[in-house]
Structure 1
Amino acid sequence: MMPNTLAFSESGAVREVTRFDNLPLHEQFKRVAKPLHTGEIMGFASILVYFIVSLIAASLPITGFLIWWKKR
């Protein structure tokens, strides 16, 4: 569930309320894309999981090259 958006006036009164459920589908996708891509969608735990998975994925070409080099 994505948060709703509130806009406040300078006096502190609520000026505009935008509900996530009422947005068009393409706007909902745009608002979900960044948190999903960066791992922020479920908090710090998912950011940590994304980091570890990315680290493993980044090391695969290097370790593959080293294994290939030693077989030569």
Structure 2
Amino acid sequence: MLRFGLLPLLTAGLVATQMIVAQLASRAQANDMFPTKAAAEQRAKQLACSGSFVMGKEWMPCSSFAAYQKAISKSK
């Protein structure tokens, strides 16, 4: 009987872990939003991309969101 009681707990733990990973990824993107173009371009240099683009009222590094995602995936 212990096995059947353990499965829901393991499943809940896996779901919770996936949610935490998704939140951390979202937070990483939020940390790369800047109030100025210059700040975003400084971060772009760190990510080995160039330029910046507007996202809402803030600036993000790289020339586009696709370029940003590519740069982030290389930096991990």
Which TM class, normalised by the smaller chain length?
A: 0.3 to 0.5
Higher relative contact order (CA 8 A, sep 6+): 2
> Which structure has the larger Rg over C-alpha atoms?
1
Structure 1 length-normalised TM:
0.36
